Amino acid sequence: MEVVPTNAGGAALAAYAPHPHAAVLLTDFILGSDGQRILEEFKYGSASKDYGFKRWYPEEGLTTEQYENASTRWDKLLRELGRK
């Protein structure tokens, strides 16, 4: 099987959520064991579950500056490819 790059997952909150405390509680729930179980049940997968393959994080070990530079390069490349 070839390497398939993907996002390992994440959570974000809207900067000006109408109910910011509820947003924090929902995020906390989703990242917790009950939320992860529900995501797994509906086939969304779970970042905490071992699926039997080696995970590789290309950004692991990079400094913030190196990560920002790499992110800028990837963004530029994807925008160029999208215009063709």
The CA distance from 12 to 49, in Å, is 20
- Show pLDDT as tens, one digit a residue, over the chain (84 residues): 566 666 666 778 888 999 999 999 999 998 888 998 898 899 887 777 788 888 777 788 888 899 889 889 988 988 888 775
**Residue 20 phi/psi, 5° resolution?**
-60, -35
Given this model, what pLDDT does residue 9 score?
Answer: 65
Given this model, what pLDDT does residue 34 score?
Answer: 92
**Residue 75 phi/psi, 5° resolution?**
-60, -45
With 0.85 as the threshold, say if the pTM is over it.
Answer: no
